[in-house]
């Protein structure tokens, strides 16, 4: 089963948040919360496992602004698709493995020739919150990627954990480029 994602308006963000995140939501229409919302709460509203197991989602990268990210729902999970700037790519590539708690090269987390696009599962590897940082005005921590307000984990522009209790990098889901401006996750 494959679905085409579409841009959705702000929807209902948590009441403490006025961030107008751009969100892409898969055809199921399930909305994604942002901020410190714990993922398992949302996950309980998603389709059954046999439906999810077949799911893939395609979407157009063109609406994603440079320096920002959008959230796509894939198999009931938020996936961040970030359009990285040239400076962010350079920064990510310059990090030495010895600086990382979960050592992984940036080049192993993106597709060759499409380094401006980072695709990661947007679930903090500590306890499952959805980190902040998709919008350039959001808190992104000291490493320019994402900041998890739950317990202070920080991720860099490659989605690698750099600070705090998170034990691992944000996961990279299976995905492929269908063209220069379109990807398929799953």
Which active-site residues does the annotation give?
151
According to the binding rule CB under 6 A, does residue 165 interact with ligand FES? yes
Given the complex with ligand FES, which of 76 and 131 has the nearer CB atom? 131
Tell me the C-alpha distance between 34 and 42, whole Å: 11
- At its nearest, how many Å lie between ligand FES and the CB of residue 153? 4
Closest CA to 80 of 26, 24, 3, 143: 24
Q: How many CA atoms lie within 13 A of 125 on its CB side?
A: 21
- Compute the chain's Rg from CA coordinates: 15
Residue 83 or 126: the one with the smaller Cβ distance to ligand FES is: 126
Report the Cα–Cα distance between both ends of the chain, in Å, rounded. 10
Number of chain residues interacting with ligand FES (CB under 6 A): 13
**Please, which of residues 118-137 interact with ligand FES by CB under 6 A?**
124, 126-129
Closer residue to ligand FES (CB): 25 or 130: 130
Q: Which of residues 69-128 bind ligand FES (CB under 6 A)?
A: 124, 126-128
Quickly count: other Cβ atoms within 10 Å of residue 97's Cβ.
9
Residues that bind ligand FES (CB under 6 A): 124, 126-129, 148, 150-153, 164-166
């Amino acid at each position: 089963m494959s679905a085409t994602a579409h841009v959705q308006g702000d929807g209902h963000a948590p009441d403490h948040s006025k961030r107008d995140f751009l969100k892409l939501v898969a055809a199921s229409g399930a909305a994604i919360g942002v901020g410190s919302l714990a993922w398992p709460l949302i996950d309980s509203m998603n389709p059954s496992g046999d439906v999810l197991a077949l799911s893939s989602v395609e979407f157009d990268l063109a609406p994603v602004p440079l320096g920002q990210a959008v959230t796509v729902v894939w198999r009931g999970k938020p996936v961040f698709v970030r359009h990285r700037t040239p400076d962010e790519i350079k920064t990510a590539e310059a990090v030495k493995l010895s600086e990382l708690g979960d050592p992984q090269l940036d080049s192993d987390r993106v597709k060759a020739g499409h380094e401006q696009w980072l695709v990661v599962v947007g679930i903090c590897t500590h306890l499952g919150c959805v980190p902040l940082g998709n919008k350039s005005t959001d808190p992104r921590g000291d490493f320019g990627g994402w900041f998890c307000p739950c317990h202070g984990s920080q991720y860099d522009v490659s989605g690698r954990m750099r600070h705090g209790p998170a034990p691992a990098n944000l996961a990279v889901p299976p995905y492929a480029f269908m063209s220069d401006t379109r990807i398929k996750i799953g």
